[in-house]
């Protein structure tokens, strides 16, 4: 993979965001992200195919058939294969996987993988309806008004009960603090303008309140409502040569896995992200490495509790010890395993269909030294990065292991 590009993640938190003013549509984001990639490879004619990951443009924007927007990126993409893929919030990850499949099947050498979502078209209460499409519709009636926060609130509630409320909240608080501090290092992050001098204090003050929101989470535990797109090139070795891009400016896909569980069933264990666990194990096995060799992880923290549970699912901490691991600072940028180094879904933003691609772009930036202010000083003996992109309540998961080129 190479030539990653992110648009700004637009929404509350950005100074320039004004919900009352008209904003760019989904075509603008597709075009900007695509052009940002093309600029780096120099010539769009070398792109064989375009894949666009998107979750719910059909409802957020009343627009389907996104493959037809590829030519907005560049005239050279006209009359070439282009399609969109959907797997809820893992749509971006599926875009990457789909691009990889084209390359592996040798039907393409260079694929433009994009992800996009424009969500600020409706109020949050209606956005909740739209996003609930990532679950089983038959459960919608009995679900919470804020359906997905409700699902993860239930998980958090069990976690509190099992391991202790304060213990859990401490870990979740640190997850939130890291997200904000990391986001401040990326000018494209939605919370980049966050100047709150007392993040931990703000978190403590805002107790979960079931009457106003969900029972076990507050809004600081949640990812952002975002408009944004990301793009990256997935290429074969030959493709990379065709583009004339040095291996040092690319990352190698060392292993990957895509696992999907039955959407009509409840999670087997509310305090385990079982599908993430399986996908990560498979991807690491395919890469022939263990988690200890990974230098940085981008994980799908749609809620702070999902961050903690991912830490456990990845084997970084034992079951129930995720809160402790995070509270001790291990996932901060200077910790043992820097995670979500530009803020993740809570800090950088969560343009749902774009998130999987955004994660790949972040890892590419970190492993190739393109991460700007957010750049980590990565150890030479751990040349790997890992992304975990999740759709729905641990239903569709894409795990990818990247190696420095």
- Return residues touching other proteins (CB under 8 A): 123, 125-126, 128-129, 132, 137, 140-141, 144-146, 210-213
End-to-end CA distance of the chain: 9
Residue 58 beta carbon to other proteins: minimum distance, rounded to whole angstroms: 15
Is the CB of 128 or the CB of 280 nearer to other proteins? 128
CA angle, 373 as apex, 368 and 379 as ends, to 5°?
45
Would you tell me how many other CB atoms lie within 10 Å of the CB of residue 17?
17
Distance CA 286, CA 99 (A): 18
Is the CB of 59 or the CB of 403 nearer to other proteins? 59
Residue 112 beta carbon to other proteins: minimum distance, rounded to whole angstroms: 35
Is the CB of 62 or the CB of 380 nearer to other proteins? 62
**CB-neighbour burial class of residue 320 (10 A; exposed 0-12, middle 13-18, buried 19+):** middle
Residue 124 beta carbon to other proteins: minimum distance, rounded to whole angstroms: 9
- Give me 373's structure tokens: 């202010």
Closest to 229 measured CA to CA, from 357, 88, 359, 75: 357
Residue 211 beta carbon to other proteins: minimum distance, rounded to whole angstroms: 7
Residue 130 beta carbon to other proteins: minimum distance, rounded to whole angstroms: 9
Residue 217 beta carbon to other proteins: minimum distance, rounded to whole angstroms: 13
Is the CB of 212 or the CB of 380 nearer to other proteins? 212
Distance CA 345, CA 225 (A): 9
Is the CB of 83 or the CB of 122 nearer to other proteins? 122
Cα 231–chain centre separation: 13
Residue 145 beta carbon to other proteins: minimum distance, rounded to whole angstroms: 4
């Amino acid at each position: 993979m190479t030539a990653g590009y992110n648009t700004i993640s637009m929404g509350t938190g950005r100074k320039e965001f004004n919900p009352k003013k008209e904003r760019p549509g989904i075509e603008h984001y597709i075009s900007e992200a695509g052009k940002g990639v093309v600029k780096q490879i120099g010539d769009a004619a070398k792109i064989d195919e375009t894949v666009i990951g998107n979750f719910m443009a059909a409802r957020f924007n009343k627009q389907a058939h996104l493959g037809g927007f590829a030519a907005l990126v560049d005239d050279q993409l006209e009359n070439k294969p282009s399609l969109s893929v959907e797997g809820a919030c893992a749509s971006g990850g599926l875009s990457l996987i789909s691009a990889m499949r084209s390359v592996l099947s040798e039907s393409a050498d260079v694929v433009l993988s994009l992800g996009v979502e424009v969500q600020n078209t409706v109020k949050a209460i209606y956005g909740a309806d739209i996003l609930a499409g990532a679950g089983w519709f038959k459960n919608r009636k009995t679900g919470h008004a804020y359906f997905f926060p409700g699902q993860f609130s239930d998980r958090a509630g069990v976690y509190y009960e099992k391991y202790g409320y304060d213990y859990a909240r401490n870990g979740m608080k640190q997850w939130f603090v890291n997200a904000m501090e990391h986001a401040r290092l990326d000018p494209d992050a939605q919370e980049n303008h966050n100047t709150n001098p007392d993040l931990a204090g703000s978190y403590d003050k805002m107790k979960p309140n079931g009457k106003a929101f969900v029972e076990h989470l507050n809004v600081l535990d949640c990812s952002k409502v975002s408009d944004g797109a990301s793009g990256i090139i997935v290429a074969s070795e030959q493709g990379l040569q065709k583009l004339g891009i040095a291996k040092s400016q690319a990352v190698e896909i060392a292993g990957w896995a895509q696992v999907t569980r039955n959407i009509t069933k409840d999670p087997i264990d509310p305090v385990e992200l079982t599908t993430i666990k399986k996908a990560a194990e498979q991807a690491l096995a395919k890469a022939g490495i263990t988690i200890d060799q990974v230098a940085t992880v981008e994980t799908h923290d749609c809620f702070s509790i999902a961050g903690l549970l991912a830490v456990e699912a990845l084997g970084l901490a034992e079951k129930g010890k995720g809160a402790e691991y995070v509270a001790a600072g291990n996932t901060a940028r200077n910790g043992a395993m820097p995670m979500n180094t530009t803020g993740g879904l809570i800090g950088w933003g969560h343009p749902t269909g774009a998130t999987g691609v955004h994660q790949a772009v972040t890892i590419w930036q970190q492993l190739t030294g393109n991460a700007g202010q957010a750049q980590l000083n990565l150890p030479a003996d751990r040349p790997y990065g890992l992304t975990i992109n999740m759709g729905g309540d641990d239903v569709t998961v894409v795990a990818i292991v990247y190696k420095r080129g």
